[in-house]
Each structure stands twice: as structure tokens, then as C-alpha cells.
């Protein structure tokens, strides 16, 4: 019975039945959207360097390790004064290679449209309307011209289901003066009664992407306003901004290769609740010891009483 008391004290004083641990899970599906500036100023060495960087990215991102169950998809968006999807996300990187080879310089530079086209492509191709419906995606697009961006209602669910998504944008153009700060962008794109606006608020696009846990990489030959350094990298770990004005083609390729390695090897760290059965075991052991002690104590007592009872005749 003494052991029963001991086990009972241990059971109710500890240990904890539940414990929380951080566990790393590999992301099985990873998607990257390359967003390329093909404005007229990219003609010549600029576009050649960008194509080489794209090649370095998809060769590393598409590389399959022996025994790995990770599936990688790459999509391509090109933009000048407008933006267009050049390839849906695909596992066949030979398709991406052909689409990149066909890129040709065009007109002006509309970074806001390039960003939105890349984000919309990622959402539509991955989700297919299951979490973010077509109507809700249209509502997001309309909000890019309003004071506040509309965040999909099930954004947290999207984050959990599609944690391995990234956008990689390259441009040699400067942001227009109206988009240098959040306030200026609001003044430019916020619709007033009877007015129409063709520009999209790039800050809103970034905010929606980060709300959906989509990481954003932004590389520019031109000047990058300070407001974008903050927008692209907030929350911490959700993006990167870098000026590549002085980079050689080889260094740009290495930069893209590094980003591809980072995204391909990304894992999700989650807090898991782990059940600890020790308390139940100590309770069971305590009960068993009490019962065993009671039985062992009762048997000698019963034997003595039986021995004292006179035999009836």
C-alpha cells in the first residue's frame, strides 16, 4: 500500500499530461512565380542577364533530390505597361525555359500590374477557388484602388494549406513618384465620385500577399523607396528587397540560385500538442498497489480469524 501512496502522490503532483513541442514539417508542394520586367529599357544586356538569372533559379528550384517527395512548380509573368501570364505554374521546367527564351522587350514599366498579376496567378493556380473564390479574388482586385486592401476571409486557412509560395520580381525601372509612399499611393488610386483610376496600389498587393503567407522578393536596378523596404520585409521573414544595380550577371545568377535553394528547402515549424500518458499510468499503478496491499493485508487476518473459530460438532 505504501507504493500505492507514493504512485498516487506522483500522479497528482505531476507529470504533465500534455506537452507542446516545436516540430518541423517539410512542405510537399512549393510554388514560385517569376515576375519579369520586359519594358523597353530592358533591351540588350539587361534582359540577357535576367534570362540567365531565371535559368539559374528554375534549375535549382526544379532539382529533385533522391528520395524526396517535394513537388516544385514554377510560373512566369512578364510586365511592361501591362502584365501577362507567360506560363502557368508547372513542374515541367523545360516549359519555363522555352517561355523565358521568348521574352522580348516591350513598352513602359508598370510594377504594380506585374505584382498583382503574379499574386493572382499564384492564388488561382494553387487554390482553384476552394478557399479564395473567384468572386472574392475580384473583390481583392477592386480594393487595390480603395483606401484599404480587402483580405480574404479565410486567409489563415490559405496560409496553412499553401505555406510554400513565393513571388520573385525583377525590374530596372523606378517606382513612379505617385507610388513612393503609402500616402501618395492612396491619393493616386483612391477613387472619388465620378472618377476612374487605372493604377493599382502596390502596397495593397504586398499586404494581401503577406496576409496569405506568400513571400515576396523584390530586386531592382532602379532606386527603391524606403517605404518598399519596409513593406516587402514586414512581417520579418516574409520578403527581401535588394538593389542589383552594381551586380554582374554572374552575381545576379547566384542571387537567384540562393533564393531558389532557400525556397526549395523551406520547412514549416509548428507547435504540436503531445499527450503524455505517464499520469494515467501512475494512477493505474497506485490503484493496483492499493488493491494488492489490501488483499495481502486481508489474507493473514482472515487466516488468523479462521484459526480461532472452534469447530462445531
pLDDT tens-digit profile of 191-211? 554 445 678 999 999 999 999
- The four Cα atoms 233, 74, 99, 132 give a dihedral, to 10 degrees, of -80
Region 230-248: mean pLDDT is 92
pLDDT band for position 293 (cuts 50, 70, 90): low
Q: pLDDT per residue over 95-110, tens digit each?
A: 999 999 999 998 888 9
Contact 210, 259 (CB under 8 A): no
Q: What angle do CA 252, 256, 261 make, to 5 degrees?
A: 145
Does residue 269 surpass a pLDDT of 60? no
What average pLDDT does range 242-270 have in this prediction? 90
Closest to 204 measured CA to CA, from 83, 120, 128, 82: 120
- Position 281 confidence tier, pLDDT thresholds 50, 70, 90: low
Residue 21: predicted pLDDT:
56
pLDDT at residue 308 greater than cutoff 90: no
Whether 19 has a pLDDT exceeding 70, the answer reads no
Mean pLDDT of the chain: 83
* Position with higher pLDDT, 118 vs 176: 118
The yes-or-no verdict on residue 252 having pLDDT over 90 is yes
Mean pLDDT, range 220-236, rounded to an integer:
91
Lowest mean per-residue pLDDT among 48-57, 230-239, 271-280: 271-280
- Rounded CA gap, 87 and 89, in Å? 6
Q: Are 145 and 151 in contact (CB under 8 A)?
A: no
pLDDT value for 313: 45
pLDDT mean over 290-302: 56
Categorize the per-residue pLDDT at 255 as very low, low, confident or very high, splitting at 50, 70 and 90: very high
Rounded CA gap, 169 and 105, in Å? 16
What is the structure's pLDDT at 8?
47
The answer on pLDDT for 31 being more than 70 is: yes
Give the residue, 218 or 268, on which the prediction is more confident: 218
pLDDT at res. 167: 98
Give the pLDDT mean for 63-76: 85
pTM: 0.79
- In angstroms and rounded to an integer, the radius of gyration of the C-alpha atoms of the chain is 31
Amino acid at each position: 500500500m505504501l507504493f500505492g501512496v507514493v504512485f498516487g502522490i506522483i500522479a497528482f503532483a505531476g507529470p504533465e499530461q500534455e506537452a507542446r513541442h516545436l516540430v518541423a514539417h517539410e512542405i510537399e508542394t512549393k510554388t514560385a512565380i517569376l515576375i519579369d520586367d520586359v519594358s523597353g529599357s530592358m533591351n540588350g544586356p539587361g534582359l540577357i542577364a535576367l534570362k540567365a538569372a531565371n535559368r539559374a533559379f528554375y534549375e535549382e528550384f526544379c532539382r529533385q533530390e533522391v528520395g524526396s517527395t517535394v513537388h516544385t512548380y514554377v510560373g512566369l509573368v512578364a510586365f511592361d505597361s501591362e502584365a501577362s501570364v507567360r506560363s502557368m505554374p508547372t513542374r515541367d521546367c523545360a516549359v519555363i525555359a522555352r517561355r523565358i527564351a521568348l521574352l522580348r522587350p516591350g513598352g513602359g514599366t508598370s510594377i504594380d500590374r506585374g505584382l498583382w498579376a503574379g499574386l493572382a496567378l499564384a492564388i488561382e493556380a494553387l487554390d482553384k477557388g476552394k478557399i479564395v473564390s473567384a468572386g472574392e479574388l475580384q473583390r481583392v482586385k477592386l480594393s487595390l484602388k480603395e483606401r484599404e486592401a480587402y483580405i480574404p476571409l479565410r486567409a489563415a486557412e490559405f496560409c496553412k494549406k499553401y505555406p510554400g509560395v513565393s513571388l520573385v520580381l525583377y525590374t530596372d525601372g523606378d517606382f513612379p513618384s505617385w507610388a513612393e509612399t503609402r500616402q501618395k499611393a492612396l491619393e493616386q488610386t483612391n477613387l472619388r465620385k465620378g472618377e476612374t483610376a487605372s493604377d493599382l496600389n502596390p502596397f495593397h498587393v504586398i499586404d494581401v500577399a503577406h496576409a496569405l503567407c506568400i513571400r515576396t522578393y523584390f530586386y531592382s536596378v532602379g532606386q527603391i523607396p524606403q517605404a518598399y523596404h519596409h513593406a516587402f520585409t514586414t512581417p520579418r521573414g516574409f520578403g527581401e528587397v535588394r538593389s542589383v544595380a552594381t551586380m554582374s550577371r554572374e552575381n545576379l545568377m547566384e542571387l537567384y540560385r540562393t533564393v531558389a535553394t532557400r525556397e526549395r528547402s523551406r520547412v514549416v515549424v509548428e507547435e504540436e500538442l503531445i499527450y503524455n500518458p505517464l499520469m494515467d499510468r501512475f494512477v493505474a499503478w497506485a490503484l493496483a498497489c492499493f488493491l494488492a496491499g489490501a488483499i495481502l493485508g486481508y489474507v493473514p487476518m482472515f487466516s488468523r480469524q479462521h484459526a480461532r473459530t472452534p469447530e462445531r460438532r
